[in-house]
Structure 1
Amino acid sequence: MAAKKASGSGSKAAKTTRAIAIDAPPLDAWSDLIGHDRLIAGLSAAIQQGRLGGSLLFVGPSGVGKTSAAVLLTQTLLCERSSPEQMAPCNTCPACVQVRAGTHPDFIQVSKPDDKTLIPLELLIGPVDARLQEGFCHDVHLRPMQAKRKVAILHDADFLNEEGANCLLKTLEEPPANALIILIGSSEQRQLPTIRSRCQVLRFQAPTGEHGRQLLRKQLQWSATEDDELQVDSVSDEALDAAIELSAGDMHVAIRLVRGGGDKIREALWNQLDAPVPDPVAIARLINGHLDSISKDVPKRRAALRDVFSIAVQHYRRQLRNDAKSGEYDPATHRRLDRTLRTFREIDRSANLGTLVDCYAADLTLATTGDRGAIG
């Protein structure tokens, strides 16, 4: 009876943990993972030597290939025609096709729902009336149904609260011998120390130069729609480099900057930020006007606001670099940069956009970090 109950729980949980569309460019081979040759070599050596850890943490800017690499690694381990040591999944066997579709019975996924600010606890350990009988941690410990092992990916690891992270600790510390757990986040600093200490960390750097342009072009082509008027091949290298620099390597931001013509808002915003004492009214009006020109849809406005703040971050970083070259240091510039960086956390917490813009503009004028404890 116990076995049947566990099997039934796993089946029910599967509807929650595996019904996730993979929002990343599919890779046919490891050579398609642009700019991460050393990381690929490390993974290959670990697999061939049988030393691939049971818990991995992929960190790096958005859009640089973390999710694509995690899915390709899943294919590599579950492919029915090629052994993992070959690092060459066939892409055509039932297992590879199911992994790409996110429907393989031994491929578990959990991500933050769009309408939540954090990953709900029930996705990790099941609802209150079925604690530890459903969810990510439960499914990982079930026997593989089709392959020799399971692979479990926890997307959006940045959005684990302390209680959720604590639920994962034992599973990460002692993962089943026939399972691989991959956590995906933007940086090590956004993960609790207890999580980092239990995972092997793989750092995905944002490609630069030709690799960066190649990756951005690929991302632009992959994200294109039927109504897209942008001719990717006609975008200049200079425009791609500028978008990558402004986005600090976040390819999703770079895509929006290229598609949205970031030059106009960048020039206008930098002109405002260059003032010794920025005008809060002018800055708020400029930002709000830009958001209105993008969309009335709140998620799109939040994305556009991230782009605006990315432009501001690059402005203040340039100022600090230029000051350092001349042997100077302006603490007001440092505080304004710190305040700008805090805005990303506020966006993640679904702060009211109008209030956020007004507070940000006022704090820039005062050159304050805007640190309001748990809120700021």
Structure 2
Amino acid sequence: MWMDIHGHDSIAERFARTLRDGRLASTYLFVGPGGVGKRMFARRLAKCLLCTGTPATELEACDQCESCQLMDADNHPDLLEVGLLKDKRTLILEQFVGDDEHRNRAGLCHDISLKPYLGRHRVAVIDCADTFNNSTANALLKTLEEPPPRSVIILVGTSEARQLSTIRSRSQIVRFAPLEPAMLAQLLVENELVDNTQVAQTVSELAEGSLDQAVAMADEALWQVHTRAVELLNQPVIDSVKLAVMVHDYSNSAGKEAGPRRTALLQVLGLVARHYRRHLRAAPASPEVPRLLRRIDRCLDAEYQVDRNVHLQTVIQAWADDLARS
């Protein structure tokens, strides 16, 4: 297990070979399910690249040098991190080129161009790469096309399909696989995220390799919604009104703020999509496959609408009606 990260030793070996061969790229795009350790891997990789106590050809960190100590303190001047700001649904232009007063004299594109202060590189980790819009992608484009010397940019997203073509085409893709259920259950128990071994095993089987999803599904309220939703979805005729009311009530229970309510709705939509994917995996030759695929696609469409701030009640009712008709 590389640097206490579960399940991605093959990717670590790939980077180890890259460093040994002196072929480190300037831009990587990490894709894979949420909650499998992509961002953690990116930060551990950054620590190795910035470490001054080990040879540049080795994927290791000494944990003793000033650079490693600053990394451990989350205070390294050569590590640049960008992610969603509070109450924002997309990465914004100011994060990359500065505000109007400091345009092109602040932001990630400016900072990554500076010479390293301590380490061998300047490393940028851009989280939530799925949320780039055209303006932010265009702001980053010149940096990706003409990367500064000794710079490494790591973008973290969930799938290639969600990346803008301008970003995807200029990045080396690194695909992270889902974690195995047994590993998920072990992580839940070891990190005291779940205090019941049986619950840990059950949610790990349903979480499709995502630790984030396993933790969310262990929540009693969400688990109750999952149970009731499965009962409705398994009926010959889906009661769309009852399904919509149940999901709407759960979303509203997250509070008055729009952000938590969207998150709650996305959790339910993800559970329903998983329900249909399990049926699909269990009977891949069934005549029901076209219907299952339509319903999975409808869940994904609803997730997209939530991400784009469509009115939640409208999303829920239209989604439930479409599932009942499909």
| Shared fold, TM over 0.5 | yes
What displacement does 1:344 show?
A: 1.8
CA deviations over 1:242-288 (Å, ceiling 9, x no partner): 42343333321211111336543222111111223311211022223
CA deviations over 1:161-180 (Å, ceiling 9, x no partner): 02211222221132122111
Provide the aligned length of Structure 1 versus Structure 2.
326
1:312 equivalent to 2:272? Answer yes
Change in CA separation of 1:116 and 1:31 when aligned onto 2, cut-off 3 Å: closer
What displacement does 1:66 show?
A: 0.8
* SS of residue paired to 2:235: coil
Alignment of 1:1-376 (within 5 A): 30-217=2-189, 220-221=191-192, 230-231=194-195, 234-236=196-198, 239-260=199-220, 262-292=222-252, 295=255, 298-326=258-286, 328-329=287-288, 331-367=290-326
The 8 Å contact of residues 59 and 201 in structure 1, kept in 2 or not, is answered as yes
Percent identical pairs in the alignment equals 35
- For residues 201 and 139 of structure 2, what CA distance do their matches in structure 1 show? 42
What displacement does 1:324 show?
A: 3.1
* SS of residue paired to 2:23: coil
CA deviations over 1:103-128 (Å, ceiling 9, x no partner): 21111111121211211111112223
Which residue identity does 1:349 align to in structure 2? R
Q: Unaligned regions of 5+ residues in structure 1, if any?
A: 1-28, 225-229, 368-376
Question: Match of 1:3?
Answer: none
What displacement does 1:358 show?
A: 2.0
What displacement does 1:189 show?
A: 0.9
CA deviations over 1:298-335 (Å, ceiling 9, x no partner): 44333332221122112222333455334x14544332
- For residues 30 and 84 of structure 1, what CA distance do their matches in structure 2 show? 17
* SS of residue paired to 1:324: coil
Change in CA separation of 1:144 and 1:321 when aligned onto 2, cut-off 3 Å: closer
Q: Unaligned regions of 5+ residues in structure 2, if any?
A: none
What displacement does 1:155 show?
A: 1.1
- For residues 165 and 302 of structure 1, what CA distance do their matches in structure 2 show? 25
The 8 Å contact of residues 240 and 324 in structure 2, kept in 1 or not, is answered as yes
Change in CA separation of 1:330 and 1:211 when aligned onto 2, cut-off 3 Å: closer
- For residues 323 and 33 of structure 1, what CA distance do their matches in structure 2 show? 34
What displacement does 1:202 show?
A: 0.9
- For residues 197 and 183 of structure 2, what CA distance do their matches in structure 1 show? 16
Which residue identity does 2:217 align to in structure 1? L
The normalised TM-score by structure 2 is: 0.90
Which residue identity does 2:93 align to in structure 1? L
- For residues 297 and 140 of structure 2, what CA distance do their matches in structure 1 show? 31
* SS of residue paired to 2:28: strand
Change in CA separation of 1:253 and 1:351 when aligned onto 2, cut-off 3 Å: farther
- For residues 162 and 188 of structure 2, what CA distance do their matches in structure 1 show? 25
The 8 Å contact of residues 76 and 83 in structure 1, kept in 2 or not, is answered as no
Change in CA separation of 1:245 and 1:114 when aligned onto 2, cut-off 3 Å: farther
The normalised TM-score by structure 1 is: 0.79
The 8 Å contact of residues 247 and 307 in structure 1, kept in 2 or not, is answered as no
- Identify which range, 67-76 or 310-319, moves more after superposition: 310-319
Change in CA separation of 1:295 and 1:130 when aligned onto 2, cut-off 3 Å: closer
- For residues 103 and 31 of structure 1, what CA distance do their matches in structure 2 show? 20
- For residues 150 and 93 of structure 1, what CA distance do their matches in structure 2 show? 17
